[in-house]
Structure 1
């Protein structure tokens, strides 16, 4: 961090379980820029040379990273990776407070007055890096705009003799699947579908998950002999933060700024890139006095979102097997042009 800035991070402490995730080849450059590359390699994450997908046809196609000149990706031990990022953040800031952000208001002096578990914290700039929950944005009276109803129905378990090291994707009539190893001998199976479709049938969520699994030959082959244990449903909607007034007082980064469909494979790389660019904007604004820096960052976030939406349509348009299915018809052709974003009115969640 810049030596002329005093930085405080509010850390909510123990977070819930994360969905298993891979780091695609572009993540290498981000980690090097952050000075984390050697530490990342020392953690021993498993290299992934390819991914596989049955998307536009029922035939599983291999995307070989090395043949495409991208280098390898990695199957992450996500808790270890998160600890690495947390340790680096703690080493770079002046203060890290463990607690939940409960209250936030602007003062007459143009600063922020925050309350963290009863403790007062004052700052001239606040960064919302709270992920999909967008806690700062919500405390300021705003709500993310939701573009769809996508959820991830997640099961993890042990599986004997698992030799598949990459991510495997399989399209299905009411959504799509992905599966990936999370650690030696363990694998995750995730069914991506819309929340209303998940609950449109009398069967319970778990029964619906197993019915969908049984209909996917690809996923069944990966689950042969598996002993499932964990179960959860997590939001996966495309969403974005509302536009903010131009100033150097408030900035959203990562998933607090925008969340992309997991089919884009941009999750962690997008978050790292967003954090880097936000750091540059902070330096330009607070150290160099460039009051347009945050606006440029917001313009970058908006341009990134527009590019994502274009690629999102092309990706889903490539799947034509179930054009009459509600899940696919909502995402293809002219449906996206006429879709009305909604506002997330969930009860505010503490940071």
Structure 2
């Protein structure tokens, strides 16, 4: 992978953000013969969340031509989900019913890096440790990078995740549906040989999930609302561990860990839709920047890769037919439909699992009823 963008500053497409959506969009466009620059602000040197991939990821990775790269990461099979909602007995769902055999537990840092490497191999100019600090449009995008480079592009793609940094700087508006956060830590030295499933357990302030990772690691995350997190100081190690100890199956699952968990880190998991009324400039938001969903849906990475395919198709059309505004309109209309479907699905999830008369669950009940 390159660490700097090529000296040639003119590109057909610049993609800001090297997560799954951004990397997959760049890979598809570069593979179609367009010149593409991909800017990723990190160097893939810190942990990332979203470790469990649904079985539907397999055909999507095969369609990108990266299945062999994925297998080389050594992912753990995920045989299904066990969930504890209103009773103490877990309900089990087997991935064998999907037709793909299993889902997968992965190190998301390595997974995201793998997709970025594949985009580079397809011809994308990849710059790590770099973000956009200024975007102007005068018939072409005039872009200034944090590393001092200046680029031009005919099409700009915002793949900056839930922050939607680029789109919001261009005047788009983010419609928030909740204030969900995830507070996560990892345990090492866990025998995960018999633990290759995702466990979800409800608690009064939200819900926990735990999942195994390659290398005898277990990850745990408490999903709650930002105000509840602040009120109980759940970003601190002691309150977080105390909250964990109030669970049943979740606490037992990590009881065999040989060391204390890492310091908890808080990540935004808020649902939102980015809207851009009346803006026909050639830019797109993709993945979580366009539509971010609740992790309870289990559709984050597959959704990102599917949106990347739609974004690449739309961007290619904008490049070959720059006077045609229909591709942008169609793309946004499809994202709106996806958003409506997602909100209905999320309401169904929480309508089934409403075990606690507490603010976290009452808010979801009100949303489901509205």
Same fold per TM (> 0.5)? yes
Does the Cα contact within 8 Å between 1:157 and 1:230 map onto a contact in 2?
A: no
Determine if the alignment matches structure 1 residue 9 to structure 2 residue 38.
yes
Q: How is 1:291-310 mapped onto 2 (pairs within 5 angstroms)?
A: 291-310=325-344
Taking a change above 3 Å as real, the CA distance of residues 310 and 7 of structure 1, as seen in their structure-2 partners, is: same
User: For residue 151 of structure 1, what is the aligned residue in structure 2?
Assistant: 181
Determine the C-alpha separation between the residues in 1 that align with 2:286 and 2:241.
36
**How far did residue 170 of structure 1 move?**
0.4
The CA distance in 2 between the partners of 1:4 and 1:200, in whole Å, is: 52
Aligned residue number for residue 200 of structure 2 = 169
In the TM superposition, residue 64 of structure 1 has moved relative to its aligned partner by: 0.7
1:39 equivalent to 2:72? Answer: no
Alignment partner of 2:276 out of 214, 235, 243: 243
Deviation at 1:334, TM superposition (A): 5.1
Tell me the TM-score normalized by structure 2. 0.84
Cα pair distance change 1:202/1:271, threshold 3 Å: closer
Instruction: Tell me how large the CA RMSD over aligned residues is.
Output: 2.1
Which position in structure 1 is the counterpart of 2:216?
185
Q: 1:70 to 1:215 in 2, by over 3 A?
A: same
Cα distance, 1:247 vs. partner? 3.1
Q: How does 1:215-230 map onto structure 2 within 5 Å?
A: 215-226=246-257, 227=259, 228-230=261-263
Within a 5 Å distance, the mapping from 1:84-103 to structure 2 comes to 84-98=114-128, 99-103=130-134
Q: Distance in 2 between matches of 1:269 and 1:180?
A: 18
2:139 equivalent to 1:116: no
Structure 2 counterpart of 1:82: 112
Give unpaired runs (5+ residues) of structure 2. 1-29
Distance 1:79 1:255 in 2: 17
Contact 1:198 1:208 in 2 (8 A): no
2:292 to 237, 240, 259: 259
TM-score, with length taken from structure 1: 0.88
- The answer to whether structure 1 residue 311 and structure 2 residue 335 are counterparts is no
SS at match of 1:176: strand
2:181/2:223 contact within 8 Å kept: yes
Counterpart-to-counterpart distance in 2, 1:250 and 1:183: 38
Segment of structure 1 superposing worse, 283-292 or 32-41 = 283-292
Asked if the contact 2:209–2:220 (Cα under 8 Å) also holds between the matched residues in 1, the reply is yes
Helix, strand or coil at the partner of 2:275: coil
How far residue 94 of structure 1 moved from its aligned partner, in angstroms, is 4.7
1:216–1:177 distance in 2 versus 1, CA, 3 Å = same
Unaligned segments of structure 1, at least 5 residues: 338-351
Is the 2:235–2:266 contact (alpha carbons within 8 Å) kept by the matching residues of 1?
no
Kindly indicate whether the alpha-carbon contact (under 8 Å) linking 2:157 and 2:283 is maintained by their aligned counterparts in 1: yes
Q: 1:167 to 1:267 in 2, by over 3 A?
A: same
Q: Out of 254-263 and 134-143, give the one that drifted further.
A: 134-143
Separation (CA, whole Å) in 1 of partners of 2:219 and 2:237:
15
